Chains A and B, each alone.
Chain A
Amino acid sequence: MLLSIGLPLIIEKLVLIVVVVMSSLVIAMYATFAERKVAAIMQDRRGPNRAGPFGLLQPLADGLKLFFKEEIIPNLSSKFLFILGPCLAMLTAMMTGAVIPWGDKVHFFGRDISLQIADVNIGILYVFGVVSMGVYGIMIGSWASNNKFSLMGGLRAASQIISYELAMGIALIALLMTTGTLSLKEIVQQQQEHWYSWNIIKQPLGFLIFLICAFAECNRTPFDLPEAENELIGGYHTEYSSMKLGFFLFAEYINMFLSSSVMVSLFFGGYDIPFVNDASLAESIGTNWVALIHSGVFLFKAACFLFLFMWVRWTIPRFRYDQLMNLGWKILIPLALINMLATGAFILLQQNNWHF
């Protein structure tokens, strides 16, 4: 039988899915807290510090508050789509986590369990597909609100994500030419050898383009035009209240975390511990401990990216719409194309035994 799916496999995957979903929710929760803290300390303030020690219970209090608020569905909105919007935003945000390798493998009950929900061989294409679906949540939600500001926010979101996905895709093609695979697991494994086998060394320009596009995909400053508070009164989530608003805001943080994870996997060696030989480490302390350290290292790298997202948000002002489009179409796409062609030429020359 081609697909041998046994009960242990199903249980193993279910546990993994629950763990990944829960942990990305918790991380997104604390990302909201971290955002407020980072904003505060960058502005010489203190930030939330009243709820629990160091204000650590603040995200719980925020979530509770959102749940208890009144749910308002505007009279003239299309009710079904109005509810569907935040659901879709949340759903697509969570789905990306399925193909990210959070660690190598653990050994439990005589089974090697891979710390990746689905090792599909088109992993990165799946990420792209899901991420571009993310705009539907925003688009549908804003359209259903029946509010001109929401609609403008939604349109901006759609045009921005479509424009930047192009450059992102082309930047990625260059990376895929060097790795030769679409599977995220293999891409990560290729980077395990040395610290200089990380793809950031091979594709610095590609990484820069990818990073900028990731900011745009997550609707983060300086690309936060869809929600531009001071122009559009909150943009696509103007009409939203209670937990539906919470889902939109939450989806942004989950998106941030997962795009950080994708960038770590693609460019920064995934769960690779720099300067450490993993095989010898596994021999000395056991596979499971190494897996734990791997996941920790992965999360640390992702957290650094999350910090970068916040750092940039509290530094740079928002683009004007025409600047946004200029940057996307006239700068990033040509740059990505040049990067792709140069990479291709380099690989061809190397294959024909041209050594530099």
Chain B
Amino acid sequence: MQALTNRAQQVERKPMSLLERAYLPAIFRGMAITFGHMFKKRPTINYPEVTRPFSPVFRGLHILNRDEEGRENCTACGLCAVACPAEAITMEAAERSAGEENLYREEKYAAKYEINMLRCIFCGLCEEACPKDAIYLSETFAPANFQRKGFIYGKDDLLIPHPITEPEAHAKAKGGRVSLK
């Protein structure tokens, strides 16, 4: 039979020499290899104490943004819901009444805003669609839950903490990556 490539090699089946049959040299070589592995760098990290950084373009759990005074940016225009390929976003709009100017930035706001994290594919199209910088994808991912309804995140789950009353929680939720305009 003609060889298809020139990489074929004849297998040598000659009987083992006495040294090879003693096996001990081979065993010592094997033991040297395992011993060498004791000094290799271990790729494992101590997870809860040390975490690997997410990539700068990581798209995680959504946050609903507030401006510097702590007013919600979202105007419930529905562009994110339209942009969403997984149809994970639903919302209900409401009109701002007098005295709520410190809560909502514009006259219209989202009374209800829900994202189904089981449907969401974390594509980030909502982030791109938003004209008000109201929705961002953060650096964490949705934690496990025992029930499906636990994955439907309402406004209280999504809204970023107030930047004036809870500055630390706000900074943490904002993360190092998101540069809010």
Q: Give the A-binding residues of B (Cβ under 8 A).
A: 27, 30-31, 33-35, 37-38, 40-44, 46
**Residues A45 and B42 in contact, CB atoms below 8 Å apart:** yes
Contacts of A45 in B (CB 8 A): 42, 44
Separation in Å of the A295 CB from the closest CB of chain B? Answer: 27
Residue of A42, A49, A312, A316 touching B37 (CB-CB under 8 A): A42
Among candidates B34, B41, B44, B46, residue contacting A315 with C-beta atoms closer than 8 Å: B34
Judging by beta carbons under 8 Å apart, are A44 and B34 in contact? no
Given contacts A312-B31, A315-B27, A315-B30, contact A46 B37 (CB under 8 A): no
Asked if B46 contacts A44 (CB within 8 A), the reply is: no
A4 proximal to B (CB < 8 A): no
Give Cα A311 to B31, complex, Å.
Answer: 7
Q: Which of B33, B35, B40 contacts A44 (CB 8 A)?
A: B40
Partner of B38, one of A41, A46, A49, A312: A41
CB proximity of B7 to chain A, nearest CB, Å: 29
Taking CB atoms, residues of chain A closer than 8 Å to B40 are 44
| Cβ–Cβ contact B37 & A43, under 8 A | yes
Q: Residue B46 contacts which of A42, A43, A49, A314 (CB distance < 8 angstroms)?
A: A49
| B38→A316 contact, CB < 8 A | no
CB pair A311–B34 under 8 Å, yes or no, is: yes
Q: How far is the CA of A44 from the CA of B36 in the complex (A)?
A: 10
Contact A314 B34 (CB under 8 A): yes
Q: For the complex, what is the distance from the CA of A43 to the CA of B33, rounded to whole Å?
A: 11
User: How far, in whole Å, are A314 and B27 apart by their CA atoms in the complex?
Assistant: 12
CA distance A312 to B46 in the complex (A): 28
Whether A315 contacts B42 by the Cβ 8 Å rule is no
- Number of A-B residue pairs at CB separation under 8 A: 33
Q: How far is the CA of A45 from the CA of B43 in the complex (A)?
A: 8
Per-residue 0/1 for A176-200: is the Cβ within 8 Å of any B Cβ (1 yes, 0 no)?
0000000000000000000000000
Specify which chain B residues have a CB less than 8 angstroms from the CB of A44 in the assembled complex: 37, 40-44
A42 to B35, CA, bound (A): 7
Residue of A nearest to B21 (CB): A331
Whether B44 and A46, one on each chain, are in contact in the complex, defined by CB atoms closer than 8 angstroms, is yes
Which 8 pairs show the lowest CB-CB distances between chains A and B?
A: A315-B34, A42-B34, A315-B30, A315-B31, A46-B44, A41-B38, A44-B42, A42-B37
CA distance A49 to B31 in the complex (A): 25
> How many angstroms between the C-alpha atoms of A49 and B50 in the bound complex?
14
Q: Name 16 interchain pairs, CB-CB below 8 A, sorted by A.
A: A41-B37, A41-B38, A41-B42, A42-B35, A42-B37, A44-B37, A44-B40, A44-B42, A44-B43, A44-B44, A45-B44, A46-B42, A46-B44, A312-B27, A312-B31, A315-B30
- Min CB distance, A214 to chain B, in Å? 15
Digitize A38-57: 1 where CB-to-B-CB distance is under 8 Å, 0 elsewhere.
00011111100100000000
**Which residues on the A side are within 8 Å of B41 (C-beta)?**
44
Cβ–Cβ contact B30 & A316, under 8 A: yes
CA distance A133 to B37 in the complex (A): 38
Report Cα–Cα, A43/B40, bound state, in Å.
9
Apart from A46-B42, A316-B27, what 13 extra A-B contacts exist at CB < 8 Å?
A41-B37, A41-B38, A41-B42, A44-B41, A44-B43, A46-B46, A311-B31, A311-B34, A311-B35, A312-B27, A314-B34, A315-B27, A316-B30
Interface string of A17-41 (1 = CB under 8 A from B): 0000000000000000000000001
Q: Chain A, 193-212, contact with B by CB distance < 8 Å: what is the 0/1 string?
A: 00000000000000000000
Which residue in chain A gives the minimum CB-CB distance to B32? A315
A43 to B104, CA, bound (A): 57
Q: Which residues of A contact B37 (CB under 8 A)?
A: 41-44
- For B43, the chain A residues whose CB sits under 8 A away are 44
- Residues from chain B with a CB closer than 8 A to the CB of A315 are 27, 30-31, 33-34
Using Cβ atoms and an 8 Å threshold, which residues of chain A touch B44? 44-46
Which chain A positions have C-beta within 8 A of B30?
315-316
A304-354 CB contacts (< 8 Å) to partner B: 311-312, 314-316
A314 to B30, CA, bound (A): 10
Q: A317: nearest residue on chain B (CB-CB)?
A: B30
A198 to chain B, nearest CB (A): 21
Chain A residues with Cβ under 8 A from B38's Cβ?
41-42
Tell me the complex Cα distance, A41–B42, Å.
8
Query: Min CB distance, B72 to chain A, in Å?
Result: 42
Task: Point out the residues of chain B lying under 8 angstroms from A311, CB to CB.
Answer: 31, 34-35
